[in-house]
Structure 1
Amino acid sequence: MSKEQKKLQRSRWLSQIVEYFPLSKLADISIEDLTEAYKHNKIEIANKDLNEEKPATKKTKLNKKGTISLIGSGPGSVSLLTLGALQEIYSADLILADKLVPQQVLDLIPQKSTKLFIARKFPGNAEKAQEELLSIGLESLLNGEKVVRLKQGDPYIFGRGGEEFNFFMNHGFKPIVLPGITSALSAPVLSNIPVTHRDVADQVLICTGTGRRGVLPNLPDFVKSRTTVFLMALHRIVDLIPKLIDDKNWDPNLPVAIIERSSCPDQRVIRTTLSKTAQAVEACGSRPPGLLVTGYSCEVIFKEQDQLKEKGWIIEEGYDYTNDNLNQFISLASTSIKKDTNFIQPSVDGAAATPPPDTFI
């Protein structure tokens, strides 16, 4: 057993002591008690290993059942990653990700023995890439490994989390699901848009701007007191806006905000009105991924309507959240259990995969 493996064994043994001993007994445990108990524990393990024959050891390994968890990694910034997600990342044997998972989050994967697979999802290949990802995950589970499906945002907000849950469940593995912070709710906050506000907005709707095979979905009717957030819509904005205004009777002067790369250092917010949204996207270019927030809540805090009318749209650049304590915490966590990350190459089209950019959905 290597030095690193011994260190990990001691950590796991101590965590079991803390988990299973009552508080009253824990309060009376001394360093000497722990040392003596650990020595006895090592002796018992050694004797057990000597008494077990090799075939029995192999059988035990084959009978070990793998575990799967679907984990939301948030919109982009590490500061919005949950502690539960961080714990799952550091205890995984295999991490399944795709190009939407932010690079800042991928950088947290332990650096010794954790395998990483990033699915190459691009137009025309998304389904095949998804099938390959699920197949690799299932194979790892059958080998008794702990698999973490790391998903950008929240697993169940347009993340196919329900499909993946059913897939693994149908193969005998019930996933653990941990929520993540979805950009549909965090991006407005980081852009000073209160999606609900007294006498302005009493409801929030999250919907997609792209249906199956790239067609427009069934779009919602206009509700004055509603804030509507469109995900995966900006690349269809030229088709989307006329449908909302002409077919669904949306107010052409409705305040909107285009929020791109939310919570990342190069976050950009373009404030405009519904009728000018497509024009603004064409003039400013695209900084994917992004989302569209619509509703009168967009002007609750933003008070530059006169300048907006004059220019057509206003651009706000950047997002800065620096916290020394956060950085120290991440650094401490990343060095507590170090593993080498083995990057698994996708087999789709035989092309080598590259780590994804720091993005969100």
Structure 2
Amino acid sequence: MSHFPVFFDLKDVPVLVLGSGDLADAKARLVARAGAKVVRWDRLAAGADLTPFRFIIAAPVGDEIDLAALRAAASAVRVPLNVADTPSYCDFILPAMIERGPVTVAVSTGGTAPILARLLRAVLEKAIPPGYGLLASLAGRWRERVTAALPDASRRKAFWETMLAGRIADLALAGQAEAAEAAIAEALASDHPMPSYPVALVGAGPGDPELLTLKAARLIGAADIILYDALVGDGVLRLAKREAKLISVGKRCGDKSSMPQAAINEALLAAARTGGRVVRLKGGDPGVFGRASEEISYLDAHGVSSELVPGVTAALGAAAALRCSLTQRGVARTLTLATAQTEDGMADHWAGLAKAGGTLALYMGKAAAGRLARDLIAAGLDPATPAVAVENASLPHQRETISNLAELPFALADGRFDGPTLLLIGTALAQTQDRISSVLEVAPAA
């Protein structure tokens, strides 16, 4: 059965709810909240007149209602019928709903899987914060004034897009109603009511789109231009709207095939000057080996505002995928994030890290694993220190191997690891070594 979603205004509409149990009570509350005049019957009496009702909802307990007779009676007077958990008797479906003030979102599986609809509603409730209700109310209050101030349809459309996805939206979503109202008034009073958008430097996380922040997902979905690193997962890019322009700017963290940083800066500035919404999408967190400060400084120098939206950095994504704590009371009190893309002659650097103890998370560590292991051992780190290498953390094609510091280079030498690889080194990993070993391949001894 196919369905076409329609919202009805139920204010003062007579609705019959049949059934004597808790489910019928819940259905009655649902339609009453929508303003309907609810009539309750436990059963359908023989010859009962159904013509006064616009809709009938049945949630019987056991066999207290003859559903075939109810269906025939409702059809005879052309009153749409819904029977809870019985799609074959339904003329319409009651979806799982999310309400945010004037905003209503309905989720339906066509009656085939009501529990799934409720689970999807829970996901959407997190993705659609209550601030969207305030934003919708603001739009309603300002609708006539915006129309009067901007009679040209194209300029009015641009204004609404700015309001609903830019700074004004951010204020409303943060619950700052007065500030949002003031920003709308200021924009309409301006000679240029469509203010430019700040460039958003957004953390895409380790790859799994479910690990994005809600703000990151919203900005990606609203962007007109997205400049993204090659480390950004395809699942994240699929959140972009169809008409968005996607520009790959290569990898980061010292990859020599990358677009030079100067060229990225220029491309970012050119995108910002189009007047559209620009997102600079970076793998992991933009503030962790993502050169965010260089891009922010370049934009500042050219009079372009920006904002930084954090993401889950690869070390945390990998630890979550391994169900592993990177700190441990009495074992590892520190966590050090470092890039393995360093020059030779870093003995003092590695000595300091070795003495600090704790857990080391070394980014882009595959190619340098031999040198890293040698230098860390020379700096005093125990060769038996647990070490885990994780490639494509959080993605379905994630690979991992567990060994110790001395054996780590051999674990990575067989060519199986050909993507971005993170190295986790530290005693804290031993606390979960048995559990990790059940899902990881143990590296061969040297």
Q: What TM-score does the superposition give when structure 1 sets the normalisation length?
A: 0.67
Decide whether the 8 Å contact of 2:386 with 2:426 is kept in 1.
Answer: yes
TM-superposed CA distance for 1:88, in Å, is 0.7
Structure-2 separation of matches of 1:305 and 1:260: 15
Distance 1:135 1:221, change over 3 A: closer
* Secondary structure at 1:139 match in 2: helix
Q: What fraction of aligned residue pairs are identical, expressed as a percent?
A: 27
TM-superposed CA distance for 1:94, in Å, is 1.1
Q: What's the C-alpha RMSD, in Å, of the aligned pairs?
A: 3.7
* Secondary structure at 1:222 match in 2: helix
Distance 1:260 1:49, change over 3 A: closer
2:312 paired residue number: 181
Structure-2 separation of matches of 1:93 and 1:199: 49
TM-superposed CA distance for 1:142, in Å, is 2.3
* Structure 1 unaligned blocks of 5 or more: 1-10, 27-33, 51-58, 315-361
Distance 1:228 1:91, change over 3 A: same
Give the aligned residue type for 1:162. Answer: S
Distance 1:43 1:255, change over 3 A: same
Distance 1:312 1:38, change over 3 A: closer
Structure-2 separation of matches of 1:105 and 1:136: 21
Structure-1 separation of matches of 2:280 and 2:437: 47
Distance 1:69 1:238, change over 3 A: same
Any residues of structure 2 matched to 1:277-356 within 5 Å, and which?
277-283=408-414, 285-303=416-434, 312-313=443-444
Decide whether the 8 Å contact of 2:402 with 2:442 is kept in 1.
Answer: no
* Secondary structure at 1:301 match in 2: helix
More RCO (CA 8 Å, sep 6+): 1
Decide whether the 8 Å contact of 2:399 with 2:417 is kept in 1.
Answer: no
How many equivalent residue pairs? Answer: 277
Alignment deviations for residues 56-82 of structure 1 (CA, whole Å, 9 cap, x no partner): xxx967995342111001001011011
Structure-1 separation of matches of 2:297 and 2:285: 17
User: Structure 1: which 4+ aligned runs deviate by more than 4 Å?
Assistant: 36-41, 47-50, 59-64, 214-217, 304-307, 310-314
Alignment deviations for residues 220-254 of structure 1 (CA, whole Å, 9 cap, x no partner): 442474011111111111222111112x1110011
1:132 paired residue number: 263
Decide whether the 8 Å contact of 1:221 with 1:249 is kept in 2.
Answer: no
Match of 2:281 among 150, 154, 167: 150
Alignment deviations for residues 241-293 of structure 1 (CA, whole Å, 9 cap, x no partner): 111112x1110011111111111111122110110000111136314111110
Distance 1:180 1:194, change over 3 A: same
* Structure 2 unaligned blocks of 5 or more: 1-102, 104-130, 156-189
Structure-2 separation of matches of 1:64 and 1:251: 57
Q: What TM-score does the superposition give when structure 2 sets the normalisation length?
A: 0.55
Decide whether the 8 Å contact of 1:271 with 1:313 is kept in 2.
Answer: no
Match of 1:210 among 341, 344, 357: 341
Structure-1 separation of matches of 2:435 and 2:250: 42
TM-superposed CA distance for 1:216, in Å, is 6.7
Alignment deviations for residues 187-220 of structure 1 (CA, whole Å, 9 cap, x no partner): 1121122111122211111111112xx6575324
1:89 paired residue number: 220
Decide whether the 8 Å contact of 1:241 with 1:278 is kept in 2.
Answer: yes
Give the aligned residue type for 2:248. Answer: I
1:264 paired residue number: 395
Decide whether the 8 Å contact of 1:66 with 1:143 is kept in 2.
Answer: no
Decide whether the 8 Å contact of 1:66 with 1:140 is kept in 2.
Answer: no
Decide whether the 8 Å contact of 2:385 with 2:404 is kept in 1.
Answer: yes
Distance 1:63 1:43, change over 3 A: closer
Distance 1:166 1:275, change over 3 A: same
Structure-2 separation of matches of 1:118 and 1:281: 28
2:368 paired residue number: 236
Larger Rg: 2
TM-superposed CA distance for 1:133, in Å, is 2.5
